[in-house]
Amino acid sequence: MNPDRLKDLLTQVKNGKVSVDQAVKKMKHLPFEDIDFANIDHHRSLRKGFPEVLFGEGKTAGQIIEIMSRMMKKKENILVTRLDKKKAETIRRRFPEVVYHPLSRVLTWIMGPAKRKTYRGTVLVISAGTSDIPVAEEAFLTAQIMGNPVEYLYDVGISGLHRLMANQEKILSASVLIVVAGMEGALPSVVGGLVDRPVIAVPTSIGYGASFNGLAALLGMLNSCASGVAVVNIDNGFGAGYLATLINRP
């Protein structure tokens, strides 16, 4: 149950339009609903401002469908990450209205036009290379479904720095920047040296042998000489999009 719906319910109780027993019935699954293989955290939107996000890896399509069906009853937007195409096809047969984004392996269900929220500004997602776009897209879609105005710049890494500098106006106008890079992970330091806004660095597992599946990029970002750079886990576009949302709230 999101905060607006809870306020509306309590207002109806106050005005005598809904009885206390009816309100308790509607709220009985707070704070969570036990469905044997999962405890669905219906209280999370009240605590965090956005409902529970489903991690698709390790769950069967049937389990995801069951969780989604319970969440849909609460009229909340749904975000599923790390979902392979085969599972997504099964879920779409059950819920044709969902949208699957194969590049980022993200599935979304939006119940309808969300109430406009106020944010500090635009979240800008930047990828160093084309190979980093799947992780960047996960960050983009996460920030977008959470209500942020979001823009992107893709394939503007430091091997061709003029590509980045050609977009200075967009970079300098962003409220929060998510910078996604593999290889040596240098791009967040460059961006961090250009702006006075928070930079969220996302290392990816893209690179040759000595990149150690993203460890080199992770360590490079953690050792950034530019101030104002925070780092999330390897390939964690979702975490970056979520953190950007928290920063971008007024």
pLDDT tens-digit map of 66-101? 989 888 877 778 899 999 999 999 999 999 999 999
Same domain, 165 and 57: no
Same domain, 127 and 243: yes
Residue 109 CA from chain centroid, whole number: 13
Alpha-carbon span 2 to 52, nearest angstrom = 11
Alpha-carbon span 107 to 172, nearest angstrom = 31
**Structural domain contains residue 178:** yes
Residue 182 confidence class, pLDDT cut points 50, 70, 90: very high
Same domain, 195 and 91: no
**Structural domain contains residue 22:** yes
The answer to whether 140 and 241 have CB atoms below 8 angstroms apart is yes
Same domain, 97 and 144: no
Same domain, 165 and 224: yes
Residue 184 confidence class, pLDDT cut points 50, 70, 90: very high
**Structural domain contains residue 204:** yes
Q: What is the pLDDT of residues 94-133, one digit of tens each?
A: 999 999 999 999 999 987 655 556 788 999 999 999 999 9
Residue 107 CA from chain centroid, whole number: 11
**Structural domain contains residue 160:** yes
Q: What is the pLDDT of residues 197-230, one digit of tens each?
A: 999 999 999 999 999 999 999 999 999 999 999 9
Same domain, 146 and 100: no
Same domain, 39 and 132: no
Residue 2 has pLDDT above 60, yes or no: no
Residue 14 confidence class, pLDDT cut points 50, 70, 90: confident
Asked whether the whole model's pTM tops 0.85, one would answer: no
What confidence score (pLDDT) does residue 65 get? 94
The mean of the pLDDT values for the chain is 87
**Structural domain contains residue 87:** yes
> Which phi and psi (to 5°) does residue 177 adopt?
-120, 130
Same domain, 213 and 127: yes
74/181: higher pLDDT: 181
What confidence score (pLDDT) does residue 178 get? 98
What number of other Cβ atoms are within 10 A of residue 3's Cβ?
11
Which residue, 79, 109, 139, sits at the end of a domain? Answer: 109
**Structural domain contains residue 117:** no
What confidence score (pLDDT) does residue 30 get? 62
Q: What's 207's domain CATH number?
A: 3.40.50.1970
Residue 48's domain comprises: 3-109
Same domain, 127 and 232: yes
Amino acid in position 108: T
Strands 106-109 and 78-81: antiparallel
Residue 140 confidence class, pLDDT cut points 50, 70, 90: very high
The structural domain count of the chain equals 2
**Structural domain contains residue 149:** yes
Same domain, 81 and 160: no
What confidence score (pLDDT) does residue 119 get? 81
**Structural domain contains residue 182:** yes
